[in-house]
DNA sequence: ATACATTAAGCTCTAGACAC
DNA sequence: GTGTCTAGAGCTTAATGTAT
């Protein structure tokens, strides 16, 4: 029997555990949510602003993407610690990302590696490739064992029976095989590229 | 001077709103 | 039901800043 409340409870317990072990209980627990990534391909995210209100108290949001919950425990905990790094930097006024949150800078890497993570560079997104360092991995193995979450949401896009979202986008993409020019049309057409003389091909 | 890190601008694409 | 327009998110890349 799937119980989302149990999953959220488990992530909250993990947050408290990691906050105590890696951050000396310095962080205030945000609103932890589990929801789809919406196609962005992220394992999780942390809101910049305090977007939750509970009895007058404001909270930030930390989300773990529902599609990736059943990854191995070391990967899931690395994601949680990654988001906790952002939270720590926000609290301390350290700007750790730019380019609308895509590029992770060396300040992110420094904070992360001071709190149980090992960070490597991604070609496009900077210092964001996150794994546990050996010490953290050993501690988590000892503390959590193999207690992974055995549930995940199916990816978006036609995998749900009867509930698939019907796209309203009716445009059709064509590409010139010669020069790579892209055009969009609203019905099937036979059209030739004026630069190359090649017929456009449906993408 | 050079390489690497970071940022900002602008292009691409999707999907919603609206007209016909 | 189909076509057109548009906002905004997603993403790339050139420009700029900084360290060595």
Q: What is the DSSP string of chain A?
A: ---HHHHHHHHHHHHHHHHHHHHTT-SPP-EEEEE--TTS--SEEEEEEEEEEETTEEEEEEEEEGGGTTS-HHHHHHHHHHHHHHHHHHHTT---EETTTTEE-HHHHHHHHTTTEEEEEETTTEEEEEEE-HHHHHHHHHHHTT------PPPSSS-STTTPPPP----EEEE-TTT--EEEESS----B-TTT-PBPEE-
- What local confidence, expressed as pLDDT, does residue A163 receive? 33
- What local confidence, expressed as pLDDT, does residue A157 receive? 43
Average pLDDT of the residues of chain A: 75
A44: tokens are 């999780």
Q: Is residue A87 part of a domain?
A: yes
- What local confidence, expressed as pLDDT, does residue A170 receive? 52
- What local confidence, expressed as pLDDT, does residue A30 receive? 85
Q: Say if CB A7 and CB A68 are below 8 A apart.
A: no
Residue A162 pLDDT exceeds 70: no
Our measurement of CA A40 to C1' C17, in angstroms, reads 30
- Cα-based torsion angle of the residue sequence A155, A158, A164, A169 in order, rounded to the nearest 10 degrees: 100
Residue A8 pLDDT exceeds 80: yes
Q: Is residue A137 part of a domain?
A: yes
Our measurement of CA A118 to C1' B18, in angstroms, reads 51
- What local confidence, expressed as pLDDT, does residue A107 receive? 82
Q: Is residue A171 part of a domain?
A: no
Give yes or no for CB of A106 within 7 Å of strand B: yes
Q: What's the Cα-to-Cα distance from A76 to each of A11, A89, A138, A162, rounded to whole Å? A: 10, 20, 15, 30
Q: What's the Cα-to-Cα distance from A110 to each of A15, A19, A38, A86, A201, rounded to whole Å? A: 20, 17, 29, 11, 48
Structural domain containing residue A22:
4-161
- What local confidence, expressed as pLDDT, does residue A158 receive? 38
Our measurement of CA A86 to C1' B12, in angstroms, reads 29
Nucleotides of B under 7 A from a protein CB: 5-9, 12-17
Count of alpha carbons within 13 angstroms of residue A134, beta-carbon side: 0
Separation CA A78–CA A173 (nearest Å): 39
Give yes or no for CB of A125 within 7 Å of strand B: no
Residue owning tokens 């906790």: A84
Give yes or no for CB of A202 within 7 Å of strand B: no
Q: Is residue A189 part of a domain?
A: no
Separation CA A47–CA A106 (nearest Å): 20
- Comparing every residue's Cα with the C1' atom of nucleotide B8, the nearest one is A99
Compute the average pLDDT of residues A172-190: 64
Q: Is residue A181 part of a domain?
A: no
Give yes or no for CB of A99 within 7 Å of strand B: yes
Q: Is residue A131 part of a domain?
A: yes
Per residue in A74-127, pLDDT (tens digit) is 888 888 898 888 888 888 878 788 777 778 888 888 888 889 988 888 777 788
Our measurement of CA A167 to C1' B17, in angstroms, reads 14
Q: Into how many domains does chain A fold?
A: 1
């Amino acid at each position: 029997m799937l119980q989302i409340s149990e999953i959220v409870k488990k992530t909250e317990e993990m947050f408290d555990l990691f906050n105590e072990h890696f951050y000396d209980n310095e962080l205030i627990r945000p609103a932890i949510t589990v929801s789809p990534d919406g196609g962005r391909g992220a394992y999780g995210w942390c809101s910049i602003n305090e977007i939750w209100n509970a009895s007058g108290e404001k909270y930030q949001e930390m989300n773990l993407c529902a599609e990736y919950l059943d990854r191995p425990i070391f990967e899931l905990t690395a994601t949680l610690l990654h988001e906790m790094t952002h939270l720590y930097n926000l609290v301390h006024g350290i700007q750790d990302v730019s380019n609308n949150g895509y590029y992770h800078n060396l300040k992110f890497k420094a904070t992360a590696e001071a709190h149980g993570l090992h960070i490597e560079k991604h070609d496009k997104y900077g210092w964001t490739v996150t794994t546990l360092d050996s010490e953290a991995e050993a501690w988590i193995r000892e503390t959590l064992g193999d207690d992974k979450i055995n549930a995940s949401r199916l990816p978006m896009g036609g995998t749900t029976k009867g509930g698939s979202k019907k796209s309203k986008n009716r445009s059709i993409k064509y590409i010139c095989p010669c020069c790579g020019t892209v055009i969009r049309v609203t019905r099937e057409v036979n059209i030739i590229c004026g630069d190359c003389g090649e017929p456009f091909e449906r993408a």
